[in-house]
Chain A
Amino acid sequence: MQYRITHTTKFQYADPAPVCSNLVHLAPRHLPWQKVLEFRLLVHPDPKQISSRPDYFGNQVSYFAIAHAHRGVTISAHSHIEVQAIEPPIASPPWERVVREIQAPRPRWNLDTYQYLFPSRHVPLLAELREYALASFLEGRPIGEAVADLMHRIHQDFNYDPTATLVHTPLSEAFEKRAGVCQDFAHVGIGCLRALGIPARYVSGYLRTNPPPGKPRLVGADASHAWFAAYCGQELGWVDFDPTNDLLLSIDHITSGWGRDYDDVCPVQGLVIGGGQHVMSVSVDVEPLEIPAEP
């Protein structure tokens, strides 16, 4: 399946601002099941220079600054992506074995996995999350099954409500309210897994905007989306879970990047000097390019 993705972020200021600098994570990742055929980042007004580099987690991050008086910025990312369906994992080891494996001293540490065990800014270590998670992590249960159950419970127990939380609402509060958006659900899942000693990371990406005929529109399709991935042992590696839709990674998911939590892969962040109040608007469009076969 091929997609054309347009992600546009607009900032408008009340007064002209002399300078703003930005850091964006908008480029989709190259993955075994995902090919980036084209990516373009357009900024208006022209920043003259956009510097891109891979970040610590392997995502592409771009820096640019506008250094003359301007009344707003429009950042739009255009991607052309090909995604293949991936087989869901069948057999997985008991979750305790994965915990032991990651903690046991080995000849060499796999730092890239190990780093996702630690608390991060949006996902502190919370006793209540461990408590919540244990209901899914029964003794000896295969890790794939246990995490899928956790995802299912988050989907069941939590209310999708964009008014319930803000970007920086603490995880404990979202958990207490049992409400939030995809970002909060991903953070809850990550917090649960880390509390048990399982590395977990935050994945940001997109969902197909308009569902194939006869299928419901997925939640979170009109903006950038987020879910979590769990480390399921050496053989399986990382497996993605989307608690907002109670789905494993599907052909409708496009992965742009991952990190410890929202902070590491925030799509657009910037600092503007002056400019007074500002308003922001975001639009995301994910168009399938192949016409799906008639049923």
Chain B
Amino acid sequence: MDTPLVTSPVKSSASQSFFAGYQPPLGAFDELLAGDKPRDHWQSFAHEINQLGTAEFERRWQHAQREMSQNGLAYTSWNETQQRARPWDLDSVPLLIDAADWENVASGLRQRAKLLEAILQDIYGPQELMKSGLLPPDTIFRHPEFFRALHRQTVPGGRYLHLYSADLGRSPDGRWWVLADRTEAPSGSGFALENRLILSRMLPRVFHRCNVQRLASYFVALKEAVNEVTPQTNNPRVVVLSQGNSSPNYFEDAYLARYLGFTLVEAEDLAVRNQRVMLKTLGGLLQVDVIIRRPNSGACDSLELDGRQSGGIPGLLQASRAGNVAILNPLGSGIIESPIFMAYLPKLCQEVLGEKLALPGLATWWCGEPGRLDDVLARLDQLVIKRAFRARGKEYALMQKLKMADRETLVQMLKENPEQFVAQEMVHRSTLPVREEGKLIPAHIALRAFAVTNASGCHIMPGGLVRVSGKAEPLEISLMAGEKSKDAWILGTTPVSNVTLLKRVDQPLRLKRTGGELPSRVAENLYWLGRNLERADVSARLLRTTITRLTSETALDDVTELVPLLRTLAELGQIETGYAVKEIRQQLPAIESTLLPQIFDHQDPFSLRSIITDIFRITARTRDRVSGDSWRILQRMDKGFSPPGVGSWDMADCLSLLDDLIINLAALGGMVSESMTRTQVYHFLDMGRRIERAYQEVRLLHCCLISFQGEIGPLLEAILEVFDSSMTYRSRYLADLQLGAVLDLVITDDTNPRSVAWQVLELEKHVKRLPREALPATISAEERLTTRLTYLIRMIEISALTEEGVLDEDGELSQLLLELAEILPKLSDTISHRYLIHAGPQMRMAEVR
């Protein structure tokens, strides 16, 4: 046998390896190749990857992608056009930067952070830079986000830039440039972390062999920064103030909050009382010590800042002035993100720090300077025109408008309002391969770097978020606009030791058992999650039972239970009411052609598909409360429950989808029950479930049974199916279907978790555990209602349910079911009002004149 030729990995050149076929374009710096060979600092990566082999790399990558999709890694929870989360597009090839190169970048960033800090101190303080003319006064007076109320504020630790980040690009000569500064609420560090976790898990050995520096040191420094500004040191309450799940950064906010052990909140969760910021929880108001701020400054306090913006937390600024809360970054830190400042940084660095700007920024000119516009117009083709004052959050659309403008329009805009624009030199950014369908394609990159400053200094994250675009054009402003992202590996020369975020042993954790700090908004979402889970389960089972009957061998007119089943479906909003009549056979084609689409109708709020969408949406809002496994089940359920895209499909297809759905719902319910601690989180979720199930059951029983005439056996069989109690029934009574025994099992049997009695008794227990003021003088309204429910259930005499006429319209059973169906919504309202709805809308009062 011949020995196969093996190429030694040491000798393998680019053309034979993982990087085979990669051809960087001319005119840009290529991060990987110098000439046709990998750069020195890529050698050991190339070696390890080649050892691994392309096939194995591909296999691992497939696995990593599956993991990403299941984790719901996303920029937005809701993509407007598709109503689906936008998938996070991570590329498998990291950016490698050698230690010496990075140290230059890092020290440049430290200097820049120091400079920007000094400028902010001056803007909100003596304003000497403006008085002396080093910075045109227009930079603040024309700035839509220069809020005078912030002038002379005191900021935590005397610092504005606790957090700072910068977008960097490398020009063809190999130098790094600052493309933009981010100071308001720099985002992306959570994505950098998530990217890192995925890649290091995918390539553990490569990662280890390359001595990649860990990101954790950055997060440790961040935690220290937070601890330093805490007004009280003992057990501070730290919140991440997010813009909510409609914001592009919601995933990251939730992720960081969980990673750092902080509470994720939205503005409506916070209120100011006695110049202190309080978190509205089920247990009452709890003081917040530190806010890690995500929304724009102007949106944070509608009383003192931008009165046009509603929402926010009225009084927040006053609480901050009073020193009762530390906001990171302090309000107003974002002003300096505006490109107009870049025009003056080189000069200011000399004047303020007495140093040359170490890390150059893109050359920038403010068109509002006397005479500047003419220079800009003369070189317009070589420059990029940007808005001088950045409007965070709206910038993308404004940029697009500028990009779309033809030359003539642009010139006109510049001439009309030169002071609103800057002109910037373009940088031809460096390239790095992205891997697409096994091929390596060159793409241009930008690196977002992160800095956190605390008492011990300015710490640069050894890594960052690499953004990739096919074009060499100026980088889009928003993170969202990037096409792909990459992990950035800063290589060390020696093996890297572990840094962990876990507390040190000398700081014992205070043991806790309670969950009273649950924000009311989260409790509300969990409550509705519970309700929707049960609504979906009952609807799915009812649909399955009905469709099974429709597809049975028996002549349809003989399927006596079909009419009440269809009537119930109509009552529950699953089908249109018109079908709830006799003569099924004639209507069958109509039922088949409309029932199936109705199940999957996104437009119809009552359709099963809409309920599933609601479940998904609500869970997305409370991502930080849902375990990874539950989330995976949810993803599977959401993706799985849709009709086949093309071709004909029928009731049989639908049945199998319903089967899957019911199993997924059961898995999700089980996961939730088994993994949640029995704190308020669980109580609210389960209360939602019990109320909904009991309510659906009593309505279903009333609808199916009351006034039913005919052979009742098959109907009872169907009811047992929907109640998932057929098996129990058979084990007790074999095939002998009797009304009384069925009613006992589904209504009064408190050992059957599907019975109405079970739901009611569980509700009573939950209600007793709700947080309560210290001395309850009387029993609460919700306790009174659950007591009434229990009483009704307990007082049922089973013997009475077997008598003649039990199904009469005005009979005892009918009255009982109606009363239950009336109390349950009342109970829901009472709980909502007391615990879930904390405040009415904000109203503005103003003296007219």
Task: Name the one of B130, B141, B149, B321 contacting A55, with C-beta atoms under 8 angstroms.
Answer: B149
Is A67 an interface residue, CB under 8 A from the partner? yes
Inter-chain contact A269/B849, CB cutoff 8 Å: no
- The answer to whether residues A108 and B131 also contact, given A19-B271, A56-B148, A65-B272 and a CB cut-off of 8 A, is yes
Which of chain B's residues 818-849 have a Cβ closer than 8 Å to chain A? 839-849
CB distance from A260 to the nearest CB of B (A): 9
Given the known inter-chain contacts A183-B849, A280-B845, please indicate yes or no for A51 contacting B275, CB distance below 8 A.
yes
The 0/1 profile, CB within 8 Å of A marked 1, for residues 136-162 of chain B is 011001100000110100000000000
Is B457's beta carbon under 8 Å from chain A?
Answer: no
Q: Is B496 on the interface with A (CB-CB < 8 A)?
A: no
Out of B273, B303, B841, B845, name the residue touching A11 (CB < 8 Å): B845
Contacts of A282 in B (CB 8 A): 847-848
B-contacting residues, A1-56, CB 8 Å = 9, 11, 17-23, 48-49, 51, 53, 55-56
Q: Are A273 and B130 in contact (CB under 8 A)?
A: no
Q: Are A56 and B846 in contact (CB under 8 A)?
A: no
Chain A proximity of B298: nearest CB distance (Å): 12
Measured CA separation A271–B840 after assembly (Å): 12
Q: Decide yes or no whether B200 CB sits under 8 A from chain A.
A: no
B133 at the interface (CB under 8 A from A): yes
From B274, which residue of chain A is reached at the shortest CB distance?
A67
The reply on B127 being an interface residue by CB < 8 A is yes
Known: A9-B847, A269-B303. A67 touches B131 (CB 8 A): no
Per the bound structure, the CA–CA distance linking A155 and B131 in Å amounts to: 37
Stretch at the interface among A85-93, A111-119, A142-150, A287-295: A111-119
Are B849 and A182 interface neighbours, CB within 8 A? yes
Q: State the CA gap A131–B670 with chains docked (Å).
A: 74
Q: B846, A223: Cβ atoms under 8 Å?
A: no
Is the Cβ of B847 less than 8 Å from the Cβ of A266?
yes
What is the 8 Å Cβ interface bit string for chain B, positions 296-321, against chain A (1 contact, 0 not)? Answer: 00000011100100000011001001
Q: Is A63 an interface residue (CB 8 A)?
A: yes
Decide: A167 and B849 in contact? CB cutoff 8 A.
Answer: yes
- How far is B322's CA from A290's CA once the two chains are assembled, in angstroms? 42
Taken together as a complex, chains A and B put the C-alpha atoms of A17 and B314 apart, in Å, by 15
Q: Which A residues are CB-close (under 8 A) to B149?
A: 55-56
Q: Hey, which chain A residues are within 8 Å of B839, CB to CB?
A: 18-19, 273-274
The interface centre, meaning the residue of A22, A224, A269 with most chain B CB atoms within 10 A of its CB, is A269
Q: How far is the CB of A220 from chain B (nearest CB, A)?
A: 9
Interface centre among B274, B839, B842, B843 (most CB of A within 10 A): B843
A271 to B306, CA, bound (A): 13
Most buried by B among A181, A182, A272, A280: A272
Given contacts A51-B322, A55-B148, A63-B318, contact A271 B274 (CB under 8 A): no
Query: A9-B847, A114-B137 given as contacts; is B142 within 8 A of A19 (CB)?
Result: no
Shortest Cβ distance from residue A115 to the other chain B in the assembled complex, whole angstroms: 5
Most interface-central of B141, B272, B845 (chain A CB within 10 A): B845
Q: Determine chain B's interface SS by DSSP, over half rule.
A: loop
> B844 to A270, Cβ gap below 8 A?
yes
Given contacts A270-B303, A274-B841, A280-B845, contact A49 B275 (CB under 8 A): yes
Residue from B839, B841, B848 with most neighbouring chain A CB atoms (10 Å): B848
B132 proximity list for chain A (CB < 8 A): 108-109
Tally of contact residues, A, Cβ under 8 A = 51
Contact across chains for B141 and A115 when beta carbons are under 8 A apart: yes
Q: Is the CB of A23 within 8 A of B304?
A: yes
The verdict on A267 contacting chain B, using a C-beta distance below 8 Å, is yes
A125 → B minimal CB distance (Å): 9
Chain B residue numbers with a CB within 8 Å of A114 are 137, 141
CB distance from A269 to the nearest CB of B (A): 5
Task: Considering the complex, give the chain B residue whose CB is closest to the CB of A263.
Answer: B307
Q: Does A216 contact B (CB under 8 A)?
A: no
Chain A CB within 10 Å, residue with most, of B127, B273, B322:
B273
Residue among A20, A67, A266 facing the most chain B CB atoms (10 A cut-off): A67
Contact flag A109-B131 (CB < 8 Å), given A18-B839, A51-B318: yes
Query: Which B residues lie within 8 Å of A23 (CB)?
Result: 303-304
Contact of A56 with B845 in the complex, beta carbons under 8 Å: no
The answer to whether residues A109 and B130 also contact, given A9-B847, A269-B303 and a CB cut-off of 8 A, is yes
Q: Are B133 and A108 interface neighbours, CB within 8 A?
A: yes
- A275 at interface (Cβ–Cβ under 8 A)? yes
Distance A139 CA – B568 CA, assembled complex (angstroms)? 86
Q: B841 to chain A: which residues have CB within 8 Å?
A: 273-274
Nearest Cβ distance between residue B157 and chain A, in whole angstroms? 21
Min distance, Cβ A46 to any Cβ of chain B, angstroms? 13
In angstroms, Cα B849 to Cα A223, docked, is 7
Asked whether, in the complex, the Cβ of B845 is within 8 Å of the Cβ of A272, the reply is: yes
Q: Which residues 66-92 in B have Cβ within 8 Å of A in the complex?
A: none
A271 touches which of B137, B148, B842 (Cβ 8 Å): B842
A89 to chain B, nearest CB (A): 27
Contacts of A213 in B (CB 8 A): none
Contact yes or no, B303 A109, CB < 8 A: no
Is B849 a contact of A271 with CB atoms below 8 Å? no
- Report A-chain residues with C-beta under 8 Å of the C-beta of B273: 19, 65, 67
Residues 315-342 of B contacting A (Cβ, < 8 Å): 315, 318, 321-322
- Contact present for B307 and A273 (CB under 8 Å): no
Contact yes or no, A20 B845, CB < 8 A? yes
CB distance from B448 to the nearest CB of A (A): 33
Q: How far is the CA of A275 from the CA of B842 in the complex (A)?
A: 9
CA distance A234 to B127 in the complex (A): 21
- Report if A275-B840 is in contact (Cβ < 8 Å); known contacts: A19-B271, A21-B315: yes
Complex contacts, B318 vs chain A, CB 8 Å? 21, 51, 63, 65
Query: How distant is A76 from chain B, measured CB to nearest CB, in Å?
Result: 12
Q: Tell whether A275 pairs with B137 under 8 Å between CB atoms, given A23-B303, A49-B275, A111-B127.
A: no
Q: Does A105 contact B (CB under 8 A)?
A: yes
Q: Which residue on chain A has the smallest CB distance to residue B839? A: A273
Evaluate contact between B843 and A266: CB separation under 8 angstroms: no
Taking the nearest CB of chain B, how far is it from the CB of A263, in angstroms?
7
Interchain CB contact under 8 A, B846 and A270:
yes
- Of B133, B151, B272, B318, chain A has the most CB atoms within 10 Å of the CB of B318
Contacts of A166 in B (CB 8 A): 848
A268 at the interface (CB under 8 A from B): yes
Is there an interface contact between B849 and A181, defined as CB atoms closer than 8 Å?
yes
Which residue in chain A gives the minimum CB-CB distance to B317? A63
Residue A217, interface by CB 8 Å: no
CA distance A182 to B127 in the complex (A): 33
Q: Which of A17, A20, A48, A269 touches B847 (beta carbons < 8 Å)?
A: A269
Among B137, B274, B847, chain A packs the most CB atoms within 10 A around the CB of: B847
Q: Is A97 an interface residue (CB 8 A)?
A: no
- Chain B nearest CB, measured from A185 CB (Å): 11
Taking CB atoms, residues of chain B closer than 8 Å to A105 are: 133
- CB of A278 closer than 8 Å to a CB of B: yes
Minimum Cβ distance to chain B for residue A104 (Å)? 10
**Do A118 and B142 contact each other (CB < 8 Å), given the known contacts A266-B847, A270-B303?**
yes
Bound form: Cα–Cα A244–B837 in Å: 48
Q: Which residues of A contact B847 (CB under 8 A)?
A: 9, 224, 266-269, 280, 282
> What 8 A-B pairs come out closest when comparing CB atoms?
A274-B840, A56-B148, A270-B845, A268-B847, A271-B314, A21-B315, A67-B273, A21-B314
Given contacts A266-B847, A269-B845, A272-B845, 19 further A-B contacts (CB under 8 A): A21-B314, A51-B322, A57-B148, A65-B272, A65-B315, A105-B133, A108-B132, A108-B133, A109-B133, A111-B137, A117-B141, A182-B849, A267-B847, A269-B303, A270-B844, A270-B845, A273-B843, A274-B840, A280-B845
A interface list, Cβ under 8 A from B: 9, 11, 17-23, 48-49, 51, 53, 55-57, 63, 65, 67, 105, 108-109, 111, 114-115, 117-118, 166-167, 181-183, 223-224, 226, 263-264, 266-276, 278, 280, 282
List 22 A-B residue pairs with CB atoms under 8 Å apart, sorted by A's residue number. Answer: A17-B840, A18-B839, A49-B274, A51-B322, A63-B315, A65-B275, A105-B133, A109-B132, A111-B130, A115-B137, A117-B141, A118-B138, A167-B848, A224-B847, A226-B849, A267-B847, A268-B845, A270-B303, A273-B843, A274-B843, A275-B840, A278-B845
